[in-house]
Structure 1
Amino acid sequence: MTTATKLNIGAIAERYAAAWTSRDPDAIVAMHTPDSTFQAHGRSGEVRGHAALREEFARVFERYPSFGVETHRLLLGEKHWTLDWTLTFQPPGQDRRGFRALDVVEVDADGLVTRKDTFLTTPR
């Protein structure tokens, strides 16, 4: 894709959300550039690169059994989106619960994620 081609950020965000809700770290990582970064602010340091991202995303699904997403709003920009959402999960033998989060996701000219920052409402 050339920089003259306008990205369909909404479609990219939708595919990215589908990868997350499928709980598939490989599908998520496939949508990132090789040197992409992720940081869950207030919870972990920045991770960079496919191997580290895959490991971090797999840990998210281990930490939050039955991971789910409730979307509150999605704001689209030229090469980014912001997602206001609730992360839901259900520990074994407990009620389903969740907490609010805000994602800021940047993409390159090919529509691959270069950076994802997640801001969480819960303490460590």
Structure 2
Amino acid sequence: MKISDLGAVAERYLAAWAAHDLDAIVALHSADGVFRLHTGGAPAIGRDAVRSAFAAILEQFPALTVQVHRVLLGDRHWVLDWTLVSGQRRLDCLDLVELSDAGLVARKDTFVDAAQLPAALGAA
């Protein structure tokens, strides 16, 4: 995949999250895609499970905005260094997003700052 194509997918993906457009987010995932939030839980496997996991995030953080610090593009992946902001809550995150041969998100791993997690999960 060309870097320009990868960059375009990453931009669409970020725009879908910024719009809280769950349908658009999930449409960019492969049917057998995996999402893992590295906080100790099990990964979400398959488009329906990924949708449920993302819906829960959007419900927990209704004012979610993404503050992008940097995006690093690879052959078929990108790394996103970002901060989740929702009201007064902030959580520094790092995503590793891998694409399938079809150009869809095959796997998304989100790593969070464990020290910030309790406050981020608290009341706004």
TM-score, normalised with respect to structure 2? 0.86
The percentage of aligned residue pairs carrying the same residue is 46
1:93 is matched with: none
List per-residue Cα deviations over 1:24-81 (Å, max 9, x = no partner).
Answer: 2211110011000001101532001111111111100111120100000100001000
Does structure 1 residue 71 correspond to structure 2 residue 68? yes
- Alpha-carbon offset, residue 97 of structure 1: 2.5
Moved over 3 A (4+): none
Unmatched runs of 5 consecutive residues or more in structure 1: 91-95
1:68–1:43 Cα change, 3 Å: farther
Q: Work out whether 1:6 is the aligned partner of 2:2.
A: yes
Mapped partners of 1:62, 1:44: distance in 2 = 18
Residue 15 of structure 1 corresponds to 12
Q: Does 1:36 align with 2:36?
A: no
Task: Report the aligned-residue RMSD.
Answer: 1.4
Aligned residues, how many? 115
Specify every segment of 5 or more residues in structure 2 that has no aligned partner in the other structure, as ranges. Answer: 119-124
Partner of 2:21: 24
Question: Match for 1:54 among 33, 51, 55?
Answer: 51
